[in-house]
Chain A
């Protein structure tokens, strides 16, 4: 039971006191004690991971793939991600140089933001949004510019975006769709119009499209289709393939940015876990049918 002295504890980075553990998880933990409660709190698929995904993880463990993986993730998985992005969203990312495998979309977000932001940088965040964006920005000393979209049916409009970019010298926009928490998403036309505004500024767009496989009205269209040169595309296997616990996320972006993001990935986790990567390779390559069962 080591006890730290108050004076030493006071020496930690003062930002830490302003950071809170994720509010969603905290609330979930709090209500978990209520007898008989039905919790619809966490974005956690109730499906188990498909059997062939599990088989791939087991085979990886049995084959003693217990040694360090490649820094950016196994090439097989990066190729599977590249193929997935092409097949599903008509995107063109090279497995060699434009994709990195991360520990969930969370690491993808955190390392990407850390790569582009320095303390004091402004970042436009449409709200309501996933609260972790604000937490990560705060931890990096960046300044969130929250844009309330409730007035427009929870959609950011080109006019709203243009106004914000006029008033703020923002370094980046965090753009999440289909949206957590609203479920709202954007049509191809809406994206094209927003991209036209973004194109007029030297601004990074962090597109968090982790829910891309869950669109029920239209097929998902990626922002990267309209704005490939400015987009840092974040996604992963967690939600679509019901494999949150495998923690497989990825970033796709122009190669020079991936080079930079790779440094922080290496400093943060060294590399991903082989059995998770083997599982995700099968997910992206062979489990389109399993996604549809989510109907």
Chain B
């Protein structure tokens, strides 16, 4: 039991006090104590990794690939990633110089921002969004500039982007995440092109986190890199599409001159990735398009069931184009207090959803539901929410009757 003195503890990097542990995971742990709770909190596919992916990981272990891999990841995997990006999104990245294998999209985001940001640099972040971007920017001494997209149906419009860039012409980076966590909203080719035309007018990096790109339900995903390859740092990975979050395979694609710099921080951060996980991901990117399709169909079925159910309950949801999230407007009785609604729902209906304000400006008054959970769980959750809302209405009615 080592005990640090307060004087010494006070000497840590002062930025640490501004940083909080991930609020999603914190809320998840808080509600985990409730008995019989159904958690639709984490973006974690309920599927197991495909069999041939597992077989590749096992073969790697058995073949004693227990030694250091190449710093940017083994070339077979980088080739598989390049082929995937070309096959799926018409993108042209050179495996040897323009692709880096990272420990999840998380590491790709961190080392990209660390490479480009100096203390004081502004980073434009459309919200509501995944809170990690803000934490990373703050930890690097950068300044987040939030753009609330809620008034526009959670879509960043060219007008709003143009106005923001005009107000912050020296912003160093724009963070773009779609299909979006937490809203599920995505962008069409036309929308992207309009945004790209504005971004082109500035010397600004675009960090485009497209980790949910394989999970779109209304259209094929189009990458920002198709319109803006010179300025884009494209981030993706195997976690969500192939149900292999635990393998921690992230992908970063960018111009070679930039990848060269980012690779240095990758080396400082983790040296290199784990061989068995890379062997597994190579098979995933090369051979598992069919497996993705099966999982995507399952998500689509769940999504339709849920949208129907919530509409039926009188609740509205943001346009659920992709990822596996529904962003649900909370009942009017709770006003904008999504935290209170989420806690009440967890305690009384035994269903855990993430309060929308965890995702920044524009998230208040909403909750995020992850339908990466099994269909059985989702059905039970829907029933519990329905019963809770009906009870709530009834109680409200009785209150009025007493008045």
In the bound complex, do residue A66 and residue B3 qualify as a contact, i.e. CB atoms below 8 Å apart?
Answer: no
State whether A273 and B246 are in contact (beta carbons under 8 Å apart), knowing that A61-B276, A106-B270, A245-B275 are contacts in the complex.
yes
B123 at the interface (CB under 8 A from A): no
Choose from A15, A114, A243, A269 the contact partner of B270 (Cβ within 8 Å). Answer: A269
B400 sits at the interface (CB 8 A): no
Cβ contact of A49, chosen from B54, B66, B248, B269, cutoff 8 A: B66
A81 part of interface (Cβ distance < 8 Å): no
Q: How far is the CB of B400 from chain A (nearest CB, A)?
A: 46
Q: Chain A contacts of B116 at CB under 8 A? A: 11-13
From the candidates B3, B15, B172, name the one contacting A118 in the complex (CB within 8 A). Answer: B15
Assembled-state Cα–Cα distance A273/B92 (Å) = 30
Interface Cβ pair total, 8 Å cutoff? 258
For the complex, give the distance between the alpha carbons of A3 and B54 in Å: 37
CB of B334 to closest CB in A, whole Å = 30
| Of A17-25, A188-196, A212-220, the one touching chain B | A17-25
Cα-based distance from A60 to B139 in the complex (angstroms): 34
B61 at the interface (CB under 8 A from A): yes
CB pair A273–B12 under 8 Å, yes or no, is: no
Which interface class (under 10, 10 to 19, 20 to 34, 35 or more) fits B?
35 or more
On chain B, the residues within 8 Å of A27 by CB distance are none
- Which of A122-130, A148-156, A224-232 forms part of the interface with chain B? A224-232
Segment among B149-157, B179-187, B228-236 that sits at the interface with chain A:
B228-236
The verdict on A270 contacting chain B, using a C-beta distance below 8 Å, is yes
Give CA–CA (A42, B104) in the complex, Å.
Answer: 26
* Interface-central residue, A44, A93, A245, by most chain B CB under 10 Å: A245
A254 and B13 in contact, given A49-B64, A110-B268, A275-B61 (Cβ under 8 angstroms): no
Mark out the residues of chain B between 1 and 55 whose CB falls within 8 Å of any chain A CB in the assembled complex: 1-5, 7-9, 11-16, 19-22, 25, 42, 44-45, 48-49, 54
Nearest residue, chain B, Cβ from A279: B61
Provide the residues of chain A in CB contact with B248, threshold 8 Å: 269-273
Contact B12 A245 (CB under 8 A): no
A residues less than 8 Å from B58 (CB atoms): 58, 61-62
B203 & A273 in contact (Cβ 8 Å cutoff): no
Closest B residue by C-beta to A266: B22
List the A side residues contacting B230 at CB < 8 Å: 2-5, 8
Cβ contact within 8 Å between B4 and A14: no
Q: Within the assembled complex, what's the spacing in Å between the Cα atoms of A255 and B108?
A: 28
- Do B261 and A16 touch across chains, with their CB atoms under 8 A apart? yes
State which of B251-259, B302-310, B379-387 sits at the interface with chain A.
B251-259
B65 beta carbon closer than 8 Å to chain A: yes
Query: What are 24 A-B interface contacts by the 8 Å CB criterion?
Result: A2-B232, A4-B230, A9-B257, A11-B116, A16-B261, A25-B267, A57-B276, A66-B246, A67-B45, A98-B1, A104-B270, A119-B119, A119-B141, A139-B264, A230-B4, A230-B8, A244-B66, A245-B65, A257-B4, A269-B103, A269-B104, A270-B104, A275-B277, A276-B277
- With A4-B258, A242-B66 known, 10 other A-B pairs at CB within 8 A are A8-B230, A12-B115, A19-B264, A25-B71, A42-B68, A62-B58, A135-B268, A202-B11, A244-B68, A268-B270
In the A-B complex, list the 9 residue pairs whose CB atoms are closest, starting with the nearest. A2-B229, A228-B2, A4-B255, A254-B4, A269-B103, A64-B48, A48-B64, A66-B49, A49-B66
